[in-house]
Structures are given as structure tokens and as C-alpha cells.
Amino acid sequence: MSDNMQATVSWTGDLGFDCTMGTGESLHLDGNKQALSPMQAVLMAVGACSSVDVVEIMKKSRQDFTDCRCELTAERATDAPRVFTKIHAHYIVTGNNINEKHLARAVQLSTEKYCSVMLMLDKTVDITTSYAAEA
């Protein structure tokens, strides 16, 4: 069974676009650095998608965490199309007695099995991860 989505992207002038999901959520993107660019939004989607997985898996592991942050760095091709060539995601989970094995497993499961955004990019982008637990 498929999970269908609908979106509308409407030009607002110059290189700006209002993007609205069929369910009402919206975002403004801009190709002239007046707002997030489409590529910036893709990079942030990688971090958000995988962080959802990490948080859910850490909760199921009953880890006492208070924060989860994903810091991303990316490289792009120099010539058009300027696709991502490398993305590194570093997860920092803060909490009490975070079990590093649980954290490592959460990151691995996200990147290899659950994060649809990462998995879509995986065949063409060199994606690496790292993690740290902080008190």
C-alpha cells in the first residue's frame, strides 16, 4: 500500500516559491538566498528525518535523554547539477547515563533501515555518520 502525498509549489516572484502540502503545512523556499534554498531544505530534511528515528529508538530503549541534535556538513558538486556528493551527520544526544551501544544502534538503524530521506540519497551521495553521548 502506498502513502500518497500532494504538494503545490507556487511562484511568488523572482526566485521565491511558497510550498504547501495538501494537508496545509507550508514552507517558503528561495533560490536567491532570501529564505532557505531547496538544497538547504533537503540537507535539513536529512537531519530531521534521521533524528526522528534516533529519538524514537532511544525512547524505546528507555534511555534518559533530554536533547538530540544532528549537526550536518555537506559537499556539493562544483558543476551543474550541483548535487550533494557527501553528507556527514553527527548526532549529539544529551542525558543521564546514555548507553553508547543503544545510541550507536539507533544511528545505525536510522541510516540503514528507517530514514527514507537518507535512503533516497544513499545511492548517489556518500553519507557518513558519527555520534556522541553527553551528560
- Are 24 and 80 members of one domain? no
Query: How high does pLDDT run on average in the chain?
Result: 97
- Are 32 and 49 members of one domain? no
Q: What is the pLDDT of residue 102?
A: 97
Over residues 114-126, mean pLDDT: 97
- Are 94 and 59 members of one domain? yes
- Ordered DSSP codes for 8-47: EEEEEETTEEEEEETTS-EEEEETTSSSB-HHHHHHHHHH
Number of domains in the chain: 2
pLDDT tens per residue, range 23-79: 999 999 999 999 999 999 999 999 999 999 999 999 999 999 999 999 999 999 999
Decide if pLDDT at 94 tops 90.
Answer: yes
Q: Are the CB atoms for 55 and 93 separated by under 8 Å? A: no
Q: Domain containing 99 — which CATH number?
A: 3.30.300.20
Q: Domain containing 5 — which CATH number?
A: 2.20.25
- Are 74 and 86 members of one domain? yes
Decide if pLDDT at 1 tops 90.
Answer: no
- Are 116 and 86 members of one domain? yes
Domain range for 12 is 1-36
Q: What is the pLDDT of residue 88?
A: 98
What sign for the dihedral angle of Cα 28, 34, 35, 39? positive
Percent of the chain at pLDDT exceeding 70: 99
Decide if pLDDT at 2 tops 80.
Answer: no
- Are 123 and 90 members of one domain? yes
Decide if pLDDT at 87 tops 80.
Answer: yes
Over residues 110-124, mean pLDDT: 97
- Are 52 and 102 members of one domain? yes
Q: Which pLDDT band, with edges at 50, 70 and 90, does 3 fall under?
A: confident
